[in-house]
């Protein structure tokens, strides 16, 4: 039977097929490839007892994320708080960049609208103007939850973002009865405490899956040529081909259309700074090979 791997734990693989979750082991020839099986994978299983099976084969993946480790993701739901912990815009732009490279649909969810801080209130509009779907929510009051459900219906989505922003609280609001563990933000450093320990797929009542994933504070960029970096910044994409030099990397070369847009206020300074940081990281990666 064909099914979806929803969770792995302690050498067991939990596969949903035809509305039933089967507790499976790997076929002998796969046992040395344990790490190759990820939540989201489509697999072939053979029943060997009541509710028990063996994974016989791994089907071709459409996409694969390394961190969080999920297969066949179609959409990234990037969650940040409008209160505590304060939004780390470098991490946000890094997640948006990675989603672009992976060719995922993307939505930014600005959570904790019930305790919004004034200095962050303009961020949803700023990122919406850049071209990203941007939704304001509150897991506590229910604001934006119906719109978020509509984003998720029919797709395999991964929730991503730092700890403490309310990812598990949002999932509990989307599907009451999940009772996922939620955590408070540390009063010392304003950082969230990890509550999700491993990746698990959650089936949604109206169709689709959500990967509940651990929080993180750092992600490495993928292998990419330096010339392609600007193409994953939506505000820079329309300017391609308008620079004086075709090899322009927008770092101060004469006749640079991106620098002109920056000086004219059409590109935000923090976005340009993050572009330069990502570009330097990609160039450093090129030199290491």
Total of domains in the chain? 3
Last residue of a domain, one of 212, 234, 256: 212
Task: Identify the three-state secondary structure at position 33.
Answer: helix
Residue recorded with tokens 């071709």:
60
Which pLDDT score is estimated for 257?
Answer: 97
For residues 41 and 49, the answer to whether their CB atoms sit within 8 Å is no
For residues 182 and 194, the answer to whether their CB atoms sit within 8 Å is no
Residue 218 lies inside a defined structural domain of this protein: no
CA distance 135 to 147: 8
CA distance 54 to 37: 13
* Mean pLDDT per 10-residue segment, the chain (289 residues): 91 92 86 73 94 93 81 92 93 93 92 94 96 95 94 91 88 77 45 54 88 65 88 95 95 95 97 97 77
Last residue of a domain, one of 184, 212, 240: 212
The answer to whether residues 147 and 47 belong to one domain is no
Q: CATH no. for residue 35?
A: 2.40.50.140
State the residue range of the domain holding 237.
Answer: 226-287
The answer to whether residues 125 and 188 belong to one domain is yes
């Amino acid at each position: 039977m064909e099914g979806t791997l929803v969770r792995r734990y302690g050498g067991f693989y939990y596969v949903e097929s035809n509305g039933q979750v089967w507790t499976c082991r790997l076929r002998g020839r796969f046992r040395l490839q344990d790490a190759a099986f990820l939540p989201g994978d489509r697999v072939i299983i053979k029943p060997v007892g009541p509710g028990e099976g063996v994974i016989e084969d791994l089907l071709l993946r459409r996409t694969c994320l390394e961190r969080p480790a999920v297969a066949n993701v179609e959409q990234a739901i990037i969650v940040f708080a409008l209160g505590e912990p304060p939004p780390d815009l470098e991490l946000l732009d890094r997640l948006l960049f990675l989603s672009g490279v992976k060719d995922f649909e993307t939505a930014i969810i600005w959570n904790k609208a019930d305790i919004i801080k004034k200095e962050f209130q303009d961020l949803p509009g700023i990122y919406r103007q850049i071209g990203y779907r941007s939704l304001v929510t509150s897991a506590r009051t229910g604001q934006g939850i119906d719109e978020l459900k509509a984003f998720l219906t029919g797709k395999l989505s991964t929730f991503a973002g730092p700890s403490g922003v309310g990812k598990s609280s949002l999932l509990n609001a989307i599907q009451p009865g999940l009772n996922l563990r939620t955590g408070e933000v540390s009063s010392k450093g304003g950082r969230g405490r990890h509550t999700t320990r491993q990746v698990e797929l959650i089936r949604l009542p109206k169709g689709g899956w959500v990967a509940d994933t651990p929080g993180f504070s750092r992600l490495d960029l993928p292998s990419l040529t330096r010339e392609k970096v600007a193409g994953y910044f939506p505000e820079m994409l329309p300017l391609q081909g308008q620079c004086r030099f075709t090899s322009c990397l927008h770092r101060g070369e004469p006749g640079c259309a991106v620098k002109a847009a920056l000086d004219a206020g059409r590109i935000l300074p923090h976005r340009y700074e993050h572009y330069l940081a990502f570009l330097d990281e990609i160039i450093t990666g090129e030199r290491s090979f």
